Structure 1
């Protein structure tokens, strides 16, 4: 059964992800899957460890596995686009 996460740029979206990950290592089982990568890519940044402990630990775990999968040296990229929704900016300020 597919799980749905929406509004991961909002406090309520991050709270739902955090609650879902309680007692779990990954989104769909005991190992990293495409589901984890999709959710990881949808996040604007690492969730605050103080507010979203489970989501923060999961994010760090996914980050480490991804980094190990791509050992080449990155030189950096910039991606342009529209500004984040005002609500996302407000969450970043609260998380500081």
Structure 2
């Protein structure tokens, strides 16, 4: 799982694609999962990544309430689509055959 490096365009693109089908990182309400991902981002996503930008602006509106959002923060790699963070290790295991 994971989005990759959210300080790069490719990582934010993965986040954008992930958010194209959902409003939040986990579940149906803002949570500590959203806070964990939001805090890693260095800037607002560009306008062409509309899903990530929508999510970013929405979570940003909870600035004063972040600590009271439900859930428990997990390591960043535990959020996001399956297979992104493990892509290199999967490729390495195929080469060993």
Q: Is 2:44 the counterpart of 1:46?
A: yes
In 2, distance between residues paired with 1:28 and 1:61?
14
* Two-structure CA RMSD over aligned residues (Å): 1.5
State the partner residue of 2:55: 58
In 2, distance between residues paired with 1:31 and 1:37?
12
Structure 2: stretches of 5+ with no match in the other structure: 67-97
State the partner residue of 1:94: none
TM-score normalised to the size of structure 1? 0.63
In 2, distance between residues paired with 1:23 and 1:65?
21
Q: Is 2:27 the counterpart of 1:29?
A: yes
Q: Show structure 1 runs of 4+ deviating over 3 A.
A: none
Give the counterpart of 1:7 among 5, 16, 19.
5
State the partner residue of 1:85: none
Structure 1: stretches of 5+ with no match in the other structure: 71-96
In 1, distance between residues paired with 2:15 and 2:9?
10
Q: For residue 43 of structure 1, report the CA deviation from its aligned partner.
A: 0.2
Count of residues paired in the alignment: 66
In 1, distance between residues paired with 2:54 and 2:2?
20
